A and B are shown apart, each in its own frame.
Chain A
Amino acid sequence: MSTYEHLVVERHGPVGWLINDRPDVRNAMNNAMRDEFADAWNELNGDPAVRVIVHTGNGRDFQTGVDVGELATDGVGMERYRQSMEDFDVHFTSWHQDVWKPVITAVNGICCGGGFHWVADADIVIAASDAQFFDPHTSVGQVVAIEAIGLMKKMPVEAVMRMAFMGKYERMGPERAYELGMISEIVDPPDRLRERAQELGETIAKNSPSAMAATKRALWGALEAGLTGACKQGAQHLVSMWGHPDQTEGPAAFAAKRDPQWEPLQ
């Protein structure tokens, strides 16, 4: 188990927690935090006791993108950031890191700019009733690309475009995010967010870990390919479970009205 300077990694039962921990700068991501994300996703992904991962933030806000202050002043950050984006060699979300366990993003307070990476790349997104979403890139002369592209494939496009063009001058509240299907649940009062995320994580952890991993691969493929192509690839993921003990255990337990005993994820 590693220790981190800018993240907190915890385990509560079957749920692994990845918590942004730079509350004084609204959890903005500096160089060191970016590297820690890569390690933390790998750590939770590699731990068979962790079946579901929850990602949230310490302090008032979830995440506010890149720490522009540090990037612009430390002499290496901006060059390194530019190079990684040119090569699309990035490692800070579960999608970048090939995490095939279910990931729940639990948005507390503000999620803006680069913070949308973790909304776009999660399987499930819930938010506290004080959550606010906006994308200030264009108001500070930056282009928004990767995270907005991810969102556009998952929700109505107009809303994403509007956020991109309105920049810091308009915010979206949790009700609208829920209406649009960007998030699936609003937690009120806000201080119940973690309790609810843990509960949701434990519920999902009752399902077959191997079946969830193959399902996740098939579904994210839907965002990459056309309908028939995605179904053909989906068939490969589906068939990859054939012969797995969970495939016979599931129907047997259902028919016998008992709880299934799943194999750990390989």
Chain B
Amino acid sequence: MTIEVRRDGKVGWLIFDRPDAGNAIDAQMFVDLEAAWAEFEADDSVSVIVNTGNGRAFQSGLDVVQLARHPEALKASSRQTKRAELRLTAWHCGVTKPVIAAVNGTCAGGGLHFVADADIVIASTAATFLDPHVSVGQVSAFETIALAKKSPAETIFRMAVAGSRERVDAERARQLGLVSEIVAPEALRGRAHELAETIARHPLAHLRQLKAQLWAALEIA
């Protein structure tokens, strides 16, 4: 398994678990992510989901090493990309419960999907945000499109064309509203759990309705 799945009260934890590869998304993680989101969505005991990473990085996007050496392994995900039918994030997978992203370190490229598609984002002081796509000859589209609709666009445009050569640090991300709170690295999971439990005091049906309405607002041209 490339995803660690845990439950703590009403809080479901979805944790990237390829720490030696910066939690990069390989072919197996594509499969595991979709299964993990579906598991929490179907579990009535879970009201809120926290998404974080094991090890130093939060999420470093598509596994470029696998892409360079075994591109055939990523065929299925390429098909999904082409049809705009990715199944990586809660939003892609139709999760109707609130999701908190707790960014514990580097969040790069495809990792930005999980920031863009979360309802609430908090970060540790060690978090940094960058989008290396154009530095490895790739196009940045979905994740930066969603971010440009949720935060000041100039920041996102700059991140997208600067590629691997610039990073947005946690404090700047908080100023711009990409994240709402920064905590010390060792306090991140505790704080995320606290937030999740607070949100879980509300009836799940109400939270679901609210989430659907607010995301619908982003669909208006």
Contact = CB atoms under 8 A, between A and B. Distances in A.
Interface of A: 102, 122-125, 153-156, 179-184, 203-204, 206-208, 210-212, 214-216, 218-219, 221-232, 234-235, 237-242, 244, 246-255, 260, 262
B165 interface: yes
Contacts of A204: 161-163, 165
Given A124-B157, A207-B135, A154 B165 contact: no
24 contacts: A123-B158, A153-B153, A181-B151, A181-B154, A203-B162, A206-B135, A208-B137, A211-B133, A215-B144, A216-B157, A216-B161, A219-B148, A222-B146, A226-B221, A227-B149, A231-B84, A231-B146, A239-B82, A241-B138, A241-B139, A250-B137, A251-B67, A253-B136, A255-B69
**Interface range for B:** 35 or more
Contact of B137 (A184, A222, A230, A246): A246
A221 B145 contact: yes
A251 B136 contact: yes
B164 to A, nearest CB: 8
Contacts of A260: 135-137
A183 B175 contact: no
Contact of A211 (B65, B137, B154): B137
- Interface of chain B, main secondary structure: helix
Contacts of B157: 123-124, 216, 219
Contacts of B163: 204, 206-207
A35 B175 CA distance: 39
B96 interface: no
Closest 7 CB pairs of A and B: A181-B152, A250-B137, A250-B136, A234-B141, A246-B137, A154-B153, A251-B68
A238 B139 contact: yes
Contact of A155 (B154, B166, B219): B154
B218 A124 contact: no
A171 B158 CA distance: 25
B160 interface: yes
Contacts of B154: 122-125, 154-155, 181-184
B155 A181 contact: yes
Nearest to B218: A227
B161 A124 contact: yes
Contact of A244 (B137, B158, B220): B137
A235 B221 contact: no
Contact of A226 (B67, B138, B218): B218
